[in-house]
Amino acid sequence: MKRRPAFDAAALPDQVWRGAFRLNLPSPAAQPPPDVDAAAHAHGARAGSSTITAPMPGTVIKVNVHEGSTVEAGDPLVVLEAMKMETPLLAPHDATVRNVHVEEGDRVAGGAVLVELDD
């Protein structure tokens, strides 16, 4: 007994692709580089201020600064433990600590603000 295919390809309407196809999408339009200063003002950042955020969820195991502390670029501000690794979060520039939002032992989500700095 001869088996018949489940459907007859010749009976398909013309709109259906019958062969191999490749999806070609146009390239996105060229964009100018982002304006960092405008982005800072759009997010409500004050001139001369910055925030240190948690790069991943974890536990704060050490806080090396307090409100009013003066820090230099590269000084460790907070040590975060995630996935059994300690990650020190460093000051990006010379600054004064405006606010510390965490204490040792706090569990934080990724992106949580830990420390705010002023120039």
For 25, residues 6+ apart whose C-beta sits below 8 A from its C-beta are none
Q: Does residue 57 carry a pLDDT above 70?
A: yes
pTM to 2 decimals? 0.59
Query: Which of residues 87 and 24 earns the better pLDDT score?
Result: 87
DSSP annotation string for 25-91: -PPPPP-PPP-HHHHHHHTTPPTTEEEEE-SSSEEEEEE---TT-EE-TT-EEEEEEETTEEEEEEP
Provide the pLDDT for residue 98: 94
Provide the pLDDT for residue 33: 82
* Mean pLDDT value across the chain: 82
Distances (CA, A) of 9 to 6, 12, 16: 9, 5, 10
- State which amino acid sits at residue 59: T
Q: What is the largest CA-CA distance in the chain?
A: 89
Q: What is the pLDDT of residues 15-55, one digit of tens each?
A: 555 566 667 778 888 888 877 777 655 544 445 568 999 99
- State which amino acid sits at residue 2: K
Provide the pLDDT for residue 44: 44
Q: Does residue 91 carry a pLDDT above 50?
A: yes
